[in-house]
């Protein structure tokens, strides 16, 4: 069971016993994420002082967790970013992972794609977790990226 304070993380979601997503946590919230059982933190946000901690890697590693940083440009996510994320998720299969970015937009999209493209989930089962947070149709670069990643699908269901 997660501490109620975890809900204060922007768009916090526990998607499975081994998978949590959210927006940028504070240092105190990272400690709560560790206490909730996370073993790995994957940060998809950029190191922009407006949205990032000054030393997230140091904070995470001081908590005894593994830290991966994959800086995904909000304006232009790339297939290489997605491949790097898939490799990180594959590397940490079987561990409890917390994936985040600034607001859980990038994180929820990449996790949805991982579930569909790597784990074989039907898109109808993976998409709702992302859509409870945001709708990529409002962001043309993301809509196009998701459609390309999903093998040329014209429109997301």
* 23-46 pLDDT tens trace: 999 999 999 999 999 999 999 999
Residue 21 has φ and ψ, to the nearest 5°, of -130, 160
Task: State how far the Cα of 92 lies from the Cα of 73, in Å rounded to an integer.
Answer: 23
The fold for domain 4-149 equals 3.90.190
pLDDT band at 49 (very low <50, low <70, confident <90, very high): confident
- Residue 56, SS3 per DSSP: helix
Q: Where are the domains of the chain?
A: 4-149
H or E element that contains 28: helix 27-35
What is the pTM assigned to this prediction? 0.95
Q: Averaged over 91-108, what is the pLDDT?
A: 98
154 pLDDT higher than 80: no
Q: What is the pLDDT of residue 51?
A: 83
Q: What is the pLDDT of residue 81?
A: 97
Instruction: Sort 80 into a burial class: Cβ within 10 Å, 0-12 / 13-18 / 19+.
Output: exposed
With tokens 């967790």, the residue in question is 65
Task: State how far the Cα of 74 lies from the Cα of 67, in Å rounded to an integer.
Answer: 20
Q: Summarize pLDDT for 10-19 with one digit per residue, the tens.
A: 999 999 999 9
Q: What is the pLDDT of residue 34?
A: 97
86 pLDDT higher than 70: yes
Q: What is the pLDDT of residue 3?
A: 80
Q: Summarize pLDDT for 104-153 with one digit per residue, the tens.
A: 999 999 999 999 999 999 999 999 999 999 999 999 999 999 999 998 65
């Amino acid at each position: 069971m997660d501490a109620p304070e975890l809900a204060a993380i922007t768009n916090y979601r526990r998607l499975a016993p081994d998978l949590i997503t959210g927006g940028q946590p504070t240092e105190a919230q990272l400690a709560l994420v560790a206490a909730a059982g996370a073993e790995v933190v994957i940060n998809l946000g950029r190191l922009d002082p407006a949205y990032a901690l000054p030393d997230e890697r140091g904070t995470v590693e001081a908590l005894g967790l593994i830290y991966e940083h994959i800086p995904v440009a909000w304006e232009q996510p790339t297939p290489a970013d997605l491949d790097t994320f898939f490799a990180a998720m594959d590397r940490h299969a079987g561990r409890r992972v917390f994936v985040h970015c600034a607001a859980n937009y990038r994180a929820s999209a990449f996790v949805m794609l991982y579930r569909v493209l790597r784990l074989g989930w039907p898109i109808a089962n993976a998409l709702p977790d992302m859509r409870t947070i945001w709708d990529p149709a409002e962001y043309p670069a993301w809509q196009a990226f998701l459609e390309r990643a999903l093998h040329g699908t014209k429109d997301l269901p």
